[in-house]
Amino acid sequence: MHTIGRDSDEDGPVCRFGNYRARDGSDGAAVGLDVNRPHAAVVVGKRGSGKSHTLGVVAEGLARAAGVAPVVIDPMGVFDGLEASPIDGTVHDAPSVRADALPPSAWPDLLGLDPTAPAGSLVWRLAAEEDSLLAMRGAVDDADAAPETRRAAANHLALADSWDVFHPDGLDPRSLCGPAPDVLDLSGLDETPASAVVRVVARGLYDARVADAVSRIPWMLLDEAHAFVGGLADSALRTLLTRGRAPGVGVVLATQRPSALPEVAVSQADLRVIHRLTAGPDVSAISAADPTYFDESLRARLPRERGCALVVDDTAETVHDVRVRPRETPDGGATPRAVPERDGSETVE
């Protein structure tokens, strides 16, 4: 098996990924992805091209690898199949986090408040002084602020409470660093509270490795990544992309809209898995990062078949045509059909 993502013949765990694809469309030698070292990767492709399927394949491979800890952020509720044998992952439905896991400076942004305005400033101060959302709400009435400021802060904190995502016993990211995948099902959450969970988990995994608090190398796999960039979770995601490999955190961002990702996501990714793309801005966003060692236009080699991918490996400075292997566990990303295709399959995302 040839391993993508390595610059030498070193040993170490490998994620079984698929097979090389010959020019006549037939399958060639088996191919794997290196998971001995952390990587920053992006998986892109239009709806139905196989990106979520690929993310599940990587999660399965990580579950079989020694010394790593897969954490899957699932905004659409399609990865619960990872609970099945032989992977035996754990799905956390509508997970909560501790309120004090968010830095005080993030609270005005979370609630849509101007941090320099009275209500935003008060919320920032309460978050710095208290360790739970309940305590923050309780402290509003006694705060040294004008009545209208206290009222505005109380209303916004009540909104945060209605999300039911902040709890004193919320997930500690360090508890997610076991051998089997932990799937955080955010499908029941709106975008803002889901972003709070993503930020806490992404930053928590990074801080845990910096502090040497966990021995395994966490890999955070984020589907629908475009929904979380540019907002509350943006700074934590940028930290993983630009600095995560040094302490030992892998990150894989999957999206059908690569044009919505920040430029740093594509430029910092040492692995780019590209499924079928047709939208002009998305093709341009990926083509802008054409490597100098690529002897032809990436646009010309974009795959056309579902489940096939072009893998750009910046570590070894190579480009590969690959057919991603079938899932070992149920694929919740398949699109239901009224009449199944002739081979009985459904469209994969």
- pLDDT at 7 (0 to 100): 79
pLDDT at 293 over 70: no
- pLDDT at 80 (0 to 100): 97
Determine how many CB atoms are found less than 10 A away from the CB of residue 77: 15
- pLDDT at 347 (0 to 100): 45
pLDDT one-digit tens code per residue, 74-86? 999 999 999 999 9
pLDDT at 15 over 70: yes
What does the DSSP assignment read for 50-105? SHHHHHHHHHHHHHTSTTEEEEEEETTS--GGGGSTTT--EEEES--B-GGGS-GG
What one-character DSSP code corresponds to residue 321?
E
199 within 8 A of 236, measured Cβ to Cβ? yes
Q: What's the predicted TM-score (pTM) here? A: 0.93
- pLDDT at 284 (0 to 100): 86
- Pairing status of strand 68-74 against strand 217-222: parallel
200 within 8 A of 173, measured Cβ to Cβ? yes
pLDDT one-digit tens code per residue, 261-275? 988 898 899 999 999
pLDDT at 72 over 80: yes
The predicted model gives 63-68 an average pLDDT of 96
The span from the CA of 81 to the CA of 95, in Å, is 18
Q: What percent of the chain has pLDDT over 90?
A: 78
